[in-house]
């Protein structure tokens, strides 16, 4: 089913205001959470008649993906969602999906020799342990993250009032001023050292959280560091049946046309429209199987990281030319293993007495895993062991695990399956974020990952790209890059 709309645009021609009627068609490249939420918001803004084509060369969901083993499905990509991720929350509600809550088992931190920190199932013991080992730093860290989240949440108010930003930097500045921009330019380590956190706390608590969430050290930028720490909060949740259901749901709700094909190049061309007037449009050339096709669009939203390895899209004949993108993405392997853990490699405690369900690791180059933890299938709230007591464990590592490494970790195992990812940017502050406006009507939403990669970040970027495209198409410049929005909106009911 295709939709077409005639849209009125007014232009100044030799000093006279002339109205043209154009057919509006929009292409989105990539059907991950970024592309599908862009389709959803573009439909909301541009209305029911505009044609929206969504190009996807792989599976709908992108980095939200599951793997089915022995009849059970597990998340292998983006898995947890923060309780304050309001776009994701809204999608789930609007699409009639259900949620599963994180199981919240016990966590320990291994440094290659022993467990340097171990949670207790008694809340009060935990508090005493944390204060004993790190003073009040855990509480201070919690407050630091909460303060950042508090400011971050301003985006929902701005977007509900339809305000858009033309750069990632402007968006972040509107939320947290120079402090937020400063976080992009400094490492998390520098930021937290300056705030007075101890080496011990940074090595034993903060670095392990960065390793499990972003496969990197505390040398990542301070902003993504804060997002990563938020990813260790309580109350995390996931979508029942798999997070990727949000993407297929948004695609359907947006009534876009899914085109299964790989976009090869985008070129700006002059075309004569049905009205007889010449107009600049974008030609999208894509491959399906061995065939090449192309189609013309007024607006394009690129919702995939633009680099050779990940999307390989060429921009032809743009004036000025569109720069090449060189963001390097971190390679990560997710391995699912159903088996009996050899807990004696982590702790001297007897096998039956080991009660940790997640083991994080310190930044030790001798370690071959970043983390290991018990996981539930996408339909369960709590992980279920099989009759022989085996659980399904998810391991994140920098390289594919060898059989020897798996046999070191497990006394016995039923299966081991893996998925490799170019997962998220390799963060190296100072971060220079790519432009959102690549050309007149060509938008890039994945650039937001330079600040932090997470489902909610892509959804925020998608909403922003839809608002930006809409306001620029209609000449509403007052809705873009407004300064002091927080103060302006404070007085509104
Ligand atoms: C292992 C792992 C764990 C993670 N855990 C979490 C987590 O717990 N919580 C969280 O919030 N985030 C997590 N993330 C990050 C999160 O998954 C991503 O930030 C988010 O899914 C990115 O979505 P996106 O739509 O922007 O990009 P993608 O999901 O990458 O979507 C881009 C799509 O574009 C398609 N595409 C690329 N090139 C072309 C082309 N030329 N033509 C057509 N289609 C093309 C791709 O096939 C892909 O489907 C994790 C990521 C990974 C890899
Ligand atoms: C964007 C905001 C404000 C919050 C998002 C917090 C969040 C959910 C961060 C997680 C980011 C991430 C890339 C996690 C990867 S690993 C996830 C999990 N620990 C797992 O074991 O699968």
The average pLDDT across 213-236 equals 97
Q: Are 267 and 316 in contact (CB under 8 A)?
A: yes
Give the β-pairing of 51-56 and 257-260: parallel
Band of the pLDDT at 5, cuts 50, 70, 90? very low
The residues lining ligand 1, judged by C-beta closer than 6 Å to any ligand atom, are 29-35, 55-58, 62-64, 77-80, 262-263, 303-304, 311-313, 332, 334, 421, 423-424, 446, 453-456, 458
Q: Are 356 and 105 in contact (CB under 8 A)?
A: yes
For residue 62, what are its two tokens?
A: 């992108």
Ligand nearest to the CA of 394: 2
ipTM above 0.95, yes or no: yes
The average pLDDT across 228-232 equals 97
- Our answer on whether the CB atom of 231 is closer than 6 Å to any ligand 2 atom is yes
pTM beyond 0.90: yes
First to last CA, the chain: 41
- Say yes or no to pLDDT of 131 above 60: yes
Kindly give, in sequence order, each residue whose CB lies less than 8 Å from that of residue 212, ignoring residues fewer than 6 positions away: 360, 370, 371, 373, 396
315 closest CA partner among 350, 268, 279, 355: 268
CA of 381 to the centre of ligand 2 (A): 18
CA of 62 to the centre of ligand 1 (A): 5
Q: What three-state secondary structure class fits 180? A: helix
- Say yes or no to pLDDT of 174 above 80: yes
- Our answer on whether the CB atom of 449 is closer than 6 Å to any ligand 2 atom is no
Q: Are 333 and 398 in contact (CB under 8 A)?
A: yes
- Say yes or no to pLDDT of 1 above 80: no
DSSP-derived secondary structure for 395-457: EEESSPPPHHHHHHHEEEEEEEEEEEEEEEE---SSP-PPPSEEETTEEE-GGGGGT---HHH
- Say yes or no to pLDDT of 17 above 70: no
- Our answer on whether the CB atom of 206 is closer than 6 Å to any ligand 2 atom is no
Which ligand 1 atom sits closest to the C-alpha of 422?
A: 53
Per-residue pLDDT reduced to its tens digit, 324-362? 888 899 999 999 999 999 999 999 887 788 999 999 999
Least confident range from 19-33, 149-163, 401-415: namely 19-33
Which ligand 2 atom sits closest to the C-alpha of 452?
A: 1
For ligand 2, pick from 64, 156, 211, 227 the residue to mutate: most ligand atoms within 8 Å of CB: 227
For residue 60, what are its two tokens?
A: 């709908």
Query: How far is Cα 456 from Cα 396, in angstroms, rounded to an integer?
Result: 21
Which ligand 1 atom sits closest to the C-alpha of 82?
A: 11
What is the sign of the dihedral through the CA atoms of 446, 447, 452 and 456?
negative
Band of the pLDDT at 3, cuts 50, 70, 90? very low
Please report, rounded to a whole number, the percentage of residues in the chain having pLDDT higher than 70.
95
What is the pLDDT at residue 458?
98
- Say yes or no to pLDDT of 271 above 90: no
Kindly give, in sequence order, each residue whose CB lies less than 8 Å from that of residue 461, ignoring residues fewer than 6 positions away: 34, 168, 436, 445, 446, 447, 448
Nearest CA to ligand 2 atom 2: 227
The average pLDDT across 135-152 equals 97
Which ligand 1 atom sits closest to the C-alpha of 213?
A: 5
HSE of 299, CA atoms in CB hemisphere, 13 A: 29
Per-residue pLDDT reduced to its tens digit, 235-254? 999 999 999 999 999 999 99
Nearest CA to ligand 2 atom 16: 213
- Our answer on whether the CB atom of 213 is closer than 6 Å to any ligand 2 atom is yes
Query: How far is Cα 189 from Cα 199, in angstroms, rounded to an integer?
Result: 9
Per-residue pLDDT reduced to its tens digit, 404-444? 999 999 999 999 999 999 999 999 999 999 999 999 999 99
What is the pLDDT at residue 422?
97
Band of the pLDDT at 10, cuts 50, 70, 90? low
Q: What three-state secondary structure class fits 149? A: helix
What is the pLDDT at residue 16?
63
For residue 380, what are its two tokens?
A: 């369960």
- Our answer on whether the CB atom of 238 is closer than 6 Å to any ligand 2 atom is no
What is the sign of the dihedral through the CA atoms of 277, 278, 284 and 285?
positive
Nearest CA to ligand 1 atom 34: 30
What is the pLDDT at residue 490?
83
- Say yes or no to pLDDT of 6 above 70: no
- Our answer on whether the CB atom of 82 is closer than 6 Å to any ligand 2 atom is yes
- The rounded mean pLDDT for the chain is 93
- Our answer on whether the CB atom of 359 is closer than 6 Å to any ligand 2 atom is no
240 DSSP β-pair partners: none
Between 127 and 275, where is the model more confident?
Answer: 127
- Our answer on whether the CB atom of 457 is closer than 6 Å to any ligand 2 atom is yes
Q: Are 446 and 38 in contact (CB under 8 A)?
A: no
- Say yes or no to pLDDT of 14 above 80: no
6 DSSP β-pair partners: 23
- Our answer on whether the CB atom of 56 is closer than 6 Å to any ligand 2 atom is no
Query: How far is Cα 490 from Cα 116, in angstroms, rounded to an integer?
Result: 46
Which ligand 2 atom sits closest to the C-alpha of 84?
A: 3
Residue entry with tokens 């809409």: 470
Per-residue pLDDT reduced to its tens digit, 431-485? 999 999 999 999 999 999 999 999 999 999 999 999 999 999 999 999 999 999 9
Nearest CA to ligand 2 atom 21: 212
Which ligand 1 atom sits closest to the C-alpha of 34?
A: 25
Which ligand 2 atom sits closest to the C-alpha of 423?
A: 13
What is the pLDDT at residue 2?
36
What is the pLDDT at residue 272?
82
For residue 445, what are its two tokens?
A: 């939403």
- Say yes or no to pLDDT of 187 above 60: yes
For 294, the enclosing helix (H) or strand (E) is strand 291-297
């Amino acid at each position: 089913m295709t939709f077409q709309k005639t849209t009125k645009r007014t232009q100044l021609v030799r000093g006279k205001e002339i109205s043209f009627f154009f057919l509006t068609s929009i292409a989105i490249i990539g059907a991950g959470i970024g592309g599908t939420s862009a389709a959803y918001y573009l439909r909301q803004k541009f209305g029911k008649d505009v044609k929206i084509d969504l190009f996807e060369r792989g599976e709908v969901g992108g980095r939200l993906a599951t793997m089915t083993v022995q009849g059970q499905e597990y998340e292998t990509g983006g898995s947890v969602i923060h309780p304050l991720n309001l776009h994701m929350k809204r999608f789930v509600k609007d699409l009639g999906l259900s949620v599963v809550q994180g199981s919240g088992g016990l966590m320990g931190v291994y440094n290659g020799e022993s467990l340097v920190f171990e949670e207790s199932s008694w809340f009060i013991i935990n508090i005493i342990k944390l204060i004993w080992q790190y003073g009040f730093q855990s509480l201070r860290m919690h407050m630091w993250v909460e303060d950042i989240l508090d400011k971050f949440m301003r985006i929902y108010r701005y977007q509900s009032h339809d305000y858009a930003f033309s750069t990632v930097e402007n968006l972040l500045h509107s939320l947290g001023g120079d402090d937020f921009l400063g976080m992009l330019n400094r490492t998390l380590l520098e930021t937290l050292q300056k705030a007075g956190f101890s080496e011990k706390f940074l090595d034993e608590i903060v670095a392990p959280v960065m390793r499990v969430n972003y496969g990197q050290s505390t040398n990542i930028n301070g902003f993504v560091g804060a997002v990563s720490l938020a990813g260790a909060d309580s109350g995390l949740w996931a979508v029942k049946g798999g997070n990727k259901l949000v993407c297929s749901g948004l695609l359907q709700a947006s009534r876009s046309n899914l085109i299964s094909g790989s976009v090869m190049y985008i070129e700006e061309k002059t075309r004569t429209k049905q009205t007889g007037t010449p107009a600049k449009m974008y030609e999208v050339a894509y491959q399906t199987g061995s065939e090449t096709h192309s189609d013309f669009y007024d607006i394009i939203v690129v919702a995939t990281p633009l680099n050779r390895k990940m999307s390989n899209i060429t921009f032809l004949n743009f004036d000025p030319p569109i720069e090449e993108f060189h963001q390097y993405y971190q390679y990560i392997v997710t391995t699912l293993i159903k088996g009996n853990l050899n807990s004696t490699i982590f702790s001297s405690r007897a096998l039956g007495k080991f009660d940790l369900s997640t083991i994080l690791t310190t930044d030790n180059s001798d370690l071959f895993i970043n983390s290991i933890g018990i996981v539930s299938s996408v339909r369960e709230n709590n992980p279920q062991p099989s009759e022989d007591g085996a659980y399904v464990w998810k391991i994140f590592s920098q390289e594919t695990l060898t059989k020897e490494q798996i046999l070191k970790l497990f006394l016995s195992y039923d299966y081991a399956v893996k998925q490799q990812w170019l997962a998220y940017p390799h963060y190296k502050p100072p971060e220079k974020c790519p432009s959102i406006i690549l050309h007149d009507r060509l938008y890039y939403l994945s650039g937001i990952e330079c600040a932090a990669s997470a489902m909610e970040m892509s959804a925020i970027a998608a909403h922003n790209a839809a608002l930006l495209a809409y306001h620029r198409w209609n000449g509403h410049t007052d809705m873009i890059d407004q300064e002091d929005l927080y103060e302006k909106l404070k007085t509104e009911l």
